[in-house]
């Protein structure tokens, strides 16, 4: 990749004697949002903690802006803002006190500190809560403060570990909008276990399962890669299951109600055309046909087995 901010090479990490991640390789462009998708325990936090220099890897290398995180952590960290899964928010500090503390840790010079904090607060929509104790903020606002500390030093990359976890639906939308906004001038990588979240926010998706990358490409490529394997039919004049089973590619038929059937199939989606044509021919009076979205668990299973083949 010509213009990349992160390069991860053969990264593996072991906690005592079990491997949490194995041979992770990844390159992140210097702009845009990358979604790191994985179920609980897949290895997302481990990868992000190493990427941000909060954990030392067992094997492999991480380069941020070309700088090796292990060898020159102070230099490499200047390029990164990090919101860990459990943000280190100090409940008894006000928003201003907390952001001053963080800006100090980031070695922002005294003369520019006030302006940098004000800019981060405004960007994250927390300026009107400057003097409020963090403990008195809602979950959504605490997360905004967490994001403000991650951008206060204007890093080229922001890493957010499950930033919408535990928020209510409105707060989730607000935090997503904020992520989009801060990504206009830097690269953002965030982790999630919600596929639809990654689909709405990102152009690139990296899927991790049992510590290994099982997919890494654009969202468009992902949508083409993971094909549905079942569809729901609503027919006014349904045939017997045997007639549906005769359609080439259909592997199983299940009637949910008298007029609704789910059919499972293998192969590509030309099957929709066959179903419609046969329905017209045989007078099933098809009213509705919808391809089932594959559940995330099923997608992971498919991808993991494709990888091991
Ligand atoms: N400090 C630790 N000591 C031992 N094992 C750990 C530790 N932290 C994580 N693990 C294990 O490493 C594996 C990867 O965990 P990790 O937290 O990276 O996954 P995750 O994808 O972020 O999951 P979650 O969304 O649940 O945080 C899991 O099996 C987990 O139990």
Full-model pTM: 0.80
The domains found in the chain, sorted by start residue, are 4-225 (3.40.50.300), 230-293 (3.30.70)
pLDDT digits (tens, 9 = 90+) for 196-245: 888 889 989 999 999 999 999 998 888 777 666 788 999 999 999 999 99
Ligand 1 pocket, residue 144 CB under 6 Å: no
CA–CA separation, 263 and 3 (whole Å)? 46
- Looking at ligand 1, which atom is closest to the CA of residue 162? 25
Ligand 1 pocket, residue 22 CB under 6 Å: no
Note the ipTM here: 0.96
- Return the pLDDT at 299: 72
How many CB atoms are located within 10 Å of the residue 305 CB? 10
pLDDT digits (tens, 9 = 90+) for 238-265: 999 999 999 988 989 999 999 999 998 8
Residues of the chain with pLDDT under 70: 1-2, 226-228, 267-269, 293-298, 301-302, 304-309
Q: Which residue's CA is the nearest one to ligand 1's atom 5? A: 15
C-alpha distances (whole Å) from 166 to each of 28, 92, 142, 173 are 27, 21, 12, 13
Ligand 1 pocket, residue 40 CB under 6 Å: yes
Close Cβ partners of 126 (under 8 Å, ≥ 6 residues apart):
95, 141, 144, 145, 148
Query: Which token pair is 152?
Result: 């206060």
Distance 24 CA to ligand 1 centre (A): 15
């Amino acid at each position: 990749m010509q213009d990349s901010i992160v390069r991860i090479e053969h990264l593996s990490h072991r906690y005592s004697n079990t491997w949490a991640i194995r041979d992770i390789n990844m390159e992140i462009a210097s702009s845009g949002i990358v979604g790191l998708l994985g179920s609980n325990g897949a290895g997302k936090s481990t990868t992000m903690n190493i990427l941000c220099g909060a954990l030392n890897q067992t094997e492999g290398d991480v380069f941020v802006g070309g700088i090796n995180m292990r060898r020159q952590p102070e230099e490499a960290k200047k390029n990164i803002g990090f919101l860990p899964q459990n943000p280190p928010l100090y409940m008894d500090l006000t928003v201003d006190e907390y952001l001053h503390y963080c800006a100090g840790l980031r070695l922002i010079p005294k003369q520019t500190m006030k302006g940098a904090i004000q800019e981060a607060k405004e960007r994250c929509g927390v300026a009107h809560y400057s003097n409020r104790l963090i403990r008195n903020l809602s979950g959504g606002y605490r997360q905004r403060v967490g994001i403000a500390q991650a951008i206060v030093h204007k890093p080229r990359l922001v890493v957010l570990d499950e930033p919408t976890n535990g928020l209510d639906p409105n707060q989730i939308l607000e935090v997503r909008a904020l992520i989009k906004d801060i990504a206009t001038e830097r690269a953002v990588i965030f982790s999630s276990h919600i596929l639809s979240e990654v689909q709405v926010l990102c152009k690139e998706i990296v899927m991790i399962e049992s510590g290994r990358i099982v997919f890494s490409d654009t969202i468009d490529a992902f949508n083409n890669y993971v094909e549905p394997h079942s569809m729901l039919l609503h027919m006014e004049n349904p045939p017997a299951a045997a007639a549906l089973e005769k359609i080439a590619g259909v592997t199983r038929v299940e009637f949910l109600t008298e007029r609704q059937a789910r059919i499972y199939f293998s192969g590509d989606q030309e099957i929709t055309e066959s179903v419609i044509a046969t329905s017209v021919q045989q007078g099933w009076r098809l009213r509705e046909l919808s391809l089932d979205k594959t559940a995330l668990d099923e997608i992971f299973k498919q991808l993991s087995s494709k990888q091991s083949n």
